Amino acid sequence: MDKLSCDIPLTEMPPILNSRRDFLRAAAASSAVAILSAESAPETARASPDKVAEPVLPPATKAVTPFKVSVPQSAIDDLKRRLASTRWPERETVSDWSQGVPLQKAQALVAYWRDKYDWRRFETRINAFAQYRTQIDGIGIHFIHVRSPQQNALPIILTHGWPGSVVEFMEIIGPLSDPTRYGGRAEDAFHVVVPSLPGFAFSDKPVEAGWDVNRIARAWATLMPRLGYERWVAQGGDWGAGVTHALAHQRPPGLIAAHVNWQFVFPEKLPENPTPAERKAIDRAALFANDQSGYFREQGTRPQTIGYPLTDSAAGQALWIYEKFQSWTDNHGNPEDELSIDAMLDDISLYWFTGTAASSARIYWENTRSGKAGLSGGRIELPMAASVFPHEIFCPPKAWAEALWPNLFYWNELDKGGHFAAFEQPKLFTEELRKAFRSRRA
Amino acid sequence: MSMANDTQEKTEISVPVSSRREFLGAVAATGGAAILSADVLPETAGAGTDKVAELVLPPATKAVIPFEVHVPEAALDDLKRRLANTRWPNKETVADWSQGVPLAKARALVEYWRTHYDWRRVERSLNALPQFRTELDGLGVHFIHVKSKHPDALPIIITHGWPGSVIEFLQVIAPLVDPTSHGGKPDDAFHVVIPSLPGFGFSDKPTEPGWRLPRIAKVWGVLMQRLGYTRYLAQGGDWGAGVTTWMAKQQLQGLAAIHLNLPILFPPPPAPPGGYAAAEQAALAQLGKYANDASGYASIQGTRPQTLGYGLADSPVGQGMWIYEKFKEWTDNHGNPEDALSLDAMLDDISLYWFTDTAASSARLYFESFQKDFARMPLDMPVAVSIFKGDMFTPPKIWGERTYPKLFYWNEVPKGGHFAAFEQPELFVTELRKSFAQLR
């Protein structure tokens, strides 16, 4: 228990960073992502290395350029070929998930991915949203941007974490932006901005170090005014909560409040005689540190090394993520209790087709290296709101938040949902944001 | 790294472990490993799941049965096909190894593996040695066993760790067994036994939990008895040091002394009244660096070996880099692992893990024992220690003295690292000869 530092970060790290577009062929047409794939099955084993599906993103400029997702068929074929020739480890030696994803569950997921899953369905769905890329601080940032029909809607930027993506928020974009169509009230409307983190999905992969949550927060504070928003709020969970806490510290002009569904409010010094609620939070954080943070420590220290198997093995990438859907959602033992296989594979496929295992893992490296890492995000003056979903990795008591957030204006503890709150419980999540920000509207 | 607890009782429990052979076809011929591989390249993407090279080991019995390694051509072809099809991550964002194996190094290793490396060469080296499998506590254990022609040779069991294998010791076997042909004296001779840990190499993969260090240590004692040795020595580094330490802890019958090249002197002994001395501070710093920056692999292997196993079992570049990184971080080099070990030597070891598909089963040793059994404990047994200065942990002698009351040899070797026998076979042999000279 002396090592509570499971290193959830809020740190400072400067350096410079070139645009990924320097590395991209001039080829790619703007406003569409092209994932180029050459023939993947070699004719003979001795053949020279084959060109394998490589993501190429259109160059980003300071303009806000429309973007659509279009994965070439060759990349889909390559995926299926890899899945068909998966080489498996032996079965686990336990009868539960304690060693990771059980072999039988793994084989079932991979069989579904190969035989039944339809990426084109997902593409149609994501392309129904207005998507863009724009260059901020040297890299291209991908985002969904849906303006509400309500003129006075409140602009909000929603940030995902790992192993999440914009996919997590697709169900709530409609209800947030157009509440009257989804049983809500016009005055609860939001203009919704959902970016992909640097190194994730269709944002560029940073090519130099320095993209920690503080720098990402500064990029978000550039993005919102670029979209014409002068008064806005921020929301996030997981690394999205890290970015949102960082934004709250920075208090960029225009940011009036923030909501997080993961709260970094551990006291610097743990209480000597914890209350039952404090005890529970401490125990859950300790469980995370002792049994559940292997992925965290590996990604935090050697993101490149773990990137090799996950980029090369579709099964490896899928199960690396699937494990988290089992561990972190509010389920009865199986991730399918809480999320559909299609929903999980949408997210997994997004990581796979974009080849972002290493670049997404690098966010752990960026934010845990500089030493100042912990579960406490420190004192925040910005007005803060929080929704605590019961199956979150840990659930801090309200008193801890009150001690660090003098302007806490909303706190609610729900009875359903877990770490991927918007993904798991879109209706509850939408309602939380409506309720939380009601008092912040002009 | 925590103190060992509740381990002693556990050693008495014999968890029923069914032999892997129950899962294997009746096929395999005794005395030879067969790795059966069906056609690996799918004809169409929509086709059913393809059979992929699968390891099949001959069933083990209580008899000591000769064994040879033969990886079928189909498995070699499958490996090269996978390497040719590697899908790469983007380049690291740093100019060093701090994010893991740099992309350029990774590509170079894979290119060599695919176009130059010859598995048949190491296969011949292995098969030039007498190898066997025998069933111990329900599990088939593979080992090399070379008897010395010298009648007074001392029997020694040498245990590898992770990501090592019996391959680490190929260069030291002849000098140990036949010293007079290798610059030594007849009374430097050893009878050498080198097993593959359960779940490693050509030993069976456990199918039930419970293969913790004390249990492995115990079956090593049974193995030495089965081979007819009534007075013997044990040696190890890394997990091999863990096994060897537990052999001593359990006072196995016939075990006369041990030698460690990574003494399990962590967590460190309590600080003396005046505080830790400078040499101790350096070792503490090594432990701190390990915990903070260099133990991610152990953390994931210790908690989710199965999940990690999927990527490593399916991707040779993944398996290759997972191990190659350790050759960089733990050998005595000047920035490149090739300073300490040849590409061929590293790929021999990596290929052994790949062909045997033992990423998950080897990682599982961390799940079983890393937090429970891998910790400093006093030993009532003669202990010899060689510290190779390039190892990632080089504790001071004072810690050895405080932990091992019968410490009879301690030497700091200026060259060599964590894979001491692999990196510096001659120095390693010298250490064993010097250590055990006084026991003869």
Which CATH number do you get for residue B424? 3.40.50.1820
HSE (CB half, 13 Å, CA atoms) of A47?
A: 16
Cβ-Cβ pairs closer than 8 A, A with B, add up to 239
Give me A251's structure tokens: 């208090």
> CA quadruple B225, B227, B230, B232: dihedral positive or negative?
negative
Decide the pairing of beta strands B131-136 and B139-146.
antiparallel
| CA nearest to B182, candidates B433, B440, B437 | B433
Range from A137-141, B22-26, B105-109 carrying the lowest mean pLDDT: B22-26
Residue B1 lies in a domain: no
What per-residue confidence (pLDDT) applies to A442? 74
* CA nearest to A37 within chain B: B87
Say yes or no for a CB contact (<8 Å) between A362 and B317. no
Greater pLDDT, B78 or B41: B78
Say yes or no for a CB contact (<8 Å) between B311 and A86. no
Contact A156, A191 (CB under 8 A): yes
**Average pLDDT in chain B:** 90
Q: Quote the strand ranges of B205-324, DSSP E.
A: 232-236, 255-260
* Whole-angstrom Cα Rg for chain A: 21
Give residue A413's region: left, alpha or beta (phi > 0; psi -120 to 50).
beta
Q: pLDDT at residue B23 above 80? A: no
Contacts of A300 (CB under 8 A, 6+ apart): A7, A364, A365, A367, A368, A369, B296
Give the residues of chain A that fall short of pLDDT 50.
1-47, 372
Q: Which long-range contacts (CB under 8 A, 24 or more apart) does A146-150 make?
A: A146/A173, A146/A177, A146/A191, A146/A192, A147/A177, A147/A191, A148/A176, A148/A177, A148/A178, A148/A189, A148/A190, A148/A191, A148/A192, A149/A177, A149/A178, A149/A189, A150/A178, A150/A179, A150/A186, A150/A187, A150/A189
ipTM: 0.90
| Distance separating alpha carbons of residues A352 and A310, to the nearest angstrom | 8
* CA nearest to A371 within chain B: B292
Q: Quote the strand ranges of A62-128, DSSP E.
A: 65-66
Contacts of B399 (CB under 8 A, 6+ apart): B263, B265, B268, B269, B280, B283
What per-residue confidence (pLDDT) applies to B52? 62
Contacts of A125 (CB under 8 A, 6+ apart): A170
Q: Quote the strand ranges of A11-75, DSSP E.
A: 34-36, 54-56, 65-66
Residue B2 lies in a domain: no
Can you name the residues that pair with B34 across neighbouring β-strands?
B56
| Residues of A in Cβ contact (< 8 Å) with B103 | 304
SS3 state of residue B145? strand
| Residues of B in Cβ contact (< 8 Å) with A89 | 306, 309-310, 312-313, 357, 359-361
Q: pLDDT at residue B46 above 90? A: no
Domain range for B299: 7-437
Q: Which residue has the tokens 């960089």?
A: B328
Which among A80, A205, A293 has the least Cβ separation from residue B45?
A: A80
| Tally of structural domains, chain B | 1
Q: Where are the domains of chain A?
A: 20-103, 122-440
Please compute the mean of the pLDDT values over residues B99-108 and round it to a whole number. 98
Say yes or no for a CB contact (<8 Å) between B318 and A309. yes
Give residue A232's region: left, alpha or beta (phi > 0; psi -120 to 50).
beta
Q: Which residue has the tokens 């509207």?
A: A441
H or E stretch at A131: strand A131-136
Given CATH 3.40.50.1820, say whether it is the number of domain A122-440.
yes
| CA nearest to B257, candidates B380, B174, B399 | B380
Say yes or no for a CB contact (<8 Å) between A308 and B321. yes
CB atoms within 10 A of CB A149: 12
Backbone torsions φ then ψ of A53, nearest 5 degrees = -30, 115
What per-residue confidence (pLDDT) applies to A369? 81
Contact B323, B304 (CB under 8 A): no
| Distance separating alpha carbons of residues A233 and A154, to the nearest angstrom | 8
Say yes or no for a CB contact (<8 Å) between B360 and A90. yes
Which among B295, B315, B357 has the least Cβ separation from residue A309?
A: B315
What per-residue confidence (pLDDT) applies to A371? 54
Say yes or no for a CB contact (<8 Å) between A305 and B361. no
Please compute the mean of the pLDDT values over residues B246-270 and round it to a whole number. 97
Say yes or no for a CB contact (<8 Å) between B85 and A40. yes
Say yes or no for a CB contact (<8 Å) between B87 and A206. no
| Distance separating alpha carbons of residues B276 and B273, to the nearest angstrom | 8
* CA nearest to A319 within chain B: B307
